[in-house]
Amino acid sequence: MLLIFQVSCVNNQVHLLKMPNMEIMRSIAGIKLPISSPDLGGCYRDVYGFDCANRLVAVATEDYCIQFYDLFENSEVSEVQVCERNFQPVDDITMYISLVSLSIDGNLMCTVDVKLPEEKLGGLVTLKFWNQGSRAGKYFLSTVIYEPHSDAKISAIAFRPGKNMAVTSSFGGNFKVWVQSTLSKPSDEKNQSGWRCQSVGSYKNKPMTTAAFSTDGSVLAVAAESVITLWDPDNNALVGVITEALSPITKLSFVGTSTFLTSLSQSSKPQVAVWNVPNLSMQWSYSLFAEAACCSSSRSEFAILALLSCPDGGTPAEQDGVILLFDAENPKPVSSWSVKKAKGGSIAFLKGDSSLVENTKDMIGGEASLLVYVNGSHEYVVFDPRNEELHIGKNAHKNVQTEEPAPIGYTSIYGELPKLASKKEVPEIPFTPSERPWETIFSGSSHVLPPLTKLCSAFLSSLLEKRPVANE
């Protein structure tokens, strides 16, 4: 594959030479719009969550719901009501869903809803844990926690792979580790045990801006503004500190099973950095306005959704961008795609089907890895990042061979009924109006009555008949 970027190592800037355009193939049907209001003061943005195992996207809507959509079927799977409140589009915005996060296997979900204060009084942050029900996309409420970090807002949520453990970071200067109590096979799903706080951590009272677990769950990384701290989640012990980034970090993610960690800084001094965790040092970095990032769970690669211009300039519809695919060890991008409406969008790696990928050597452990891009207008595309010509269309994962359906019902028992020949058409009965039609116009059998068109014209003519006038 030809490189389409020229990388300048002097100023760490990516210069675009040319790139193939990526066209949106489908739009999410029936999706509800998120909140869009200047009253939120920039604290709200489009909220996406991804169920990578079941290939679902979770979108927070303005009526306090989480909608789950199947990215392959382009259809709604379910809808979860997060807040039991009446909603009218004309009402003032009093609350919104700020975060939604799902575990890798999709069995757990965590949401954060924020009630805005009225005249600087009455604000409330609520943390809710959900357990998966009978099918993917269906969740029931497990635990509700009011003000989990006092009056501070929650900046990020992360689930620990393979265990019922989650961490929430707060702008108030601490993070909390939550665990779910275990019960032996409850008979009723609504009687599942709840979540409790196991430990609390902080670093020099700095705001905790984001958090992430390693792929094996042994290391917890929490960003204290521009400093990355590494913790043992079981003992809540600080095991390492990585040097500071250029600006506060808003996104952390471990790159597969490798020893690398990626970070995003989305302030006036943007930065995309890759860190070597064992060496506690930076591997390489770029100055990019990154909107979102995601890492593969099985490969040492990650993708960046970057804006081509400053985020503050132009409308969201004009904020075009580019998706860059990197190998963690190499600062040169492996491939790239130009996209539309990148502002407010997101990307994620999904568990694919081996039948959809032609190059089996790109699969790890028999599983293919696909990439999904959702833009700010809720349009999306699913594709294989290692095959430029392969785009996943609707129902592409199903067998396309047409087979004759098996007989069912009456046909399966007695066979098909013989086809009857159609009856011959009955010729139209001739009609001749009488001299005095008003006397017999409505008499006679119904099957011999003339057509209604002829009947009405004859009847109206009879009403307009002229009578002779006697001469005096």
Rounded to 5 degrees, φ, ψ at 418 are: -65, 145
User: 297: closest CA among 375, 398, 367?
Assistant: 367
pLDDT of residue 453: 65
pLDDT of residue 118: 82
pLDDT of residue 117: 86
Mean pLDDT of 277-284: 92
Categorize the per-residue pLDDT at 386 as very low, low, confident or very high, splitting at 50, 70 and 90: confident
pLDDT of residue 437: 60
Q: 277-281, 321-325, 360-364: which range is least confident on average? A: 360-364
List pLDDT tens digits, range 236-263. Answer: 999 999 978 888 999 999 998 889 999 9
Categorize the per-residue pLDDT at 53 as very low, low, confident or very high, splitting at 50, 70 and 90: confident
Buried b (16+ CB within 10 A) or exposed e, 17-45: eebeebeeeeebeebeebbeeeeeeeebe
User: 50: closest CA among 302, 271, 351, 317?
Assistant: 351
Q: 136-145, 213-222, 324-333, 399-408: which range is least confident on average? A: 399-408
Express as a percent the part of the chain with pLDDT over 70: 65
Above 80 in pLDDT, residue 46?
no
Task: Give long-range contacts, CB 8 A cutoff, 24+ apart: 4-13.
Answer: 4/335, 4/336, 5/324, 5/332, 5/333, 5/336, 7/331, 7/332, 7/333, 9/331, 11/287, 12/285, 12/286, 12/287, 13/286, 13/287
Above 50 in pLDDT, residue 38?
no
Q: 2-11, 116-125, 336-345, 406-415: which range is least confident on average? A: 2-11
Above 80 in pLDDT, residue 393?
no
Q: 117-126, 183-192, 309-318, 390-399: which range is least confident on average? A: 390-399
Chain mean position to CA 420: 52
List pLDDT tens digits, range 319-349. Answer: 789 999 999 999 999 999 999 888 888 999 9
pLDDT of residue 466: 60
pLDDT of residue 73: 83
Above 70 in pLDDT, residue 423?
no
Of 360 and 71, which is predicted with more confidence? Answer: 71
Categorize the per-residue pLDDT at 399 as very low, low, confident or very high, splitting at 50, 70 and 90: very low
Above 90 in pLDDT, residue 232?
yes
pLDDT of residue 363: 46
pLDDT of residue 311: 65
The number of beta carbons lying within 10 Å of the beta carbon of residue 261 is 24
Categorize the per-residue pLDDT at 13 as very low, low, confident or very high, splitting at 50, 70 and 90: very low
Above 80 in pLDDT, residue 26?
no
List pLDDT tens digits, range 88-136. Answer: 766 777 888 999 999 999 999 999 999 888 877 778 999 999 999 988 8
Q: What is the pTM of this model?
A: 0.73
Above 50 in pLDDT, residue 17?
no
Above 70 in pLDDT, residue 359?
no
List pLDDT tens digits, range 287-300. Answer: 989 999 999 887 88
List pLDDT tens digits, range 435-453. Answer: 666 566 566 666 666 666 6
pLDDT, mean over the chain: 77
pLDDT of residue 298: 79
CA dist 216 to 9, 158, 161, 296, Å? Answer: 33, 13, 7, 13
CA 296 to CA 285: how far, in whole Å?
A: 19
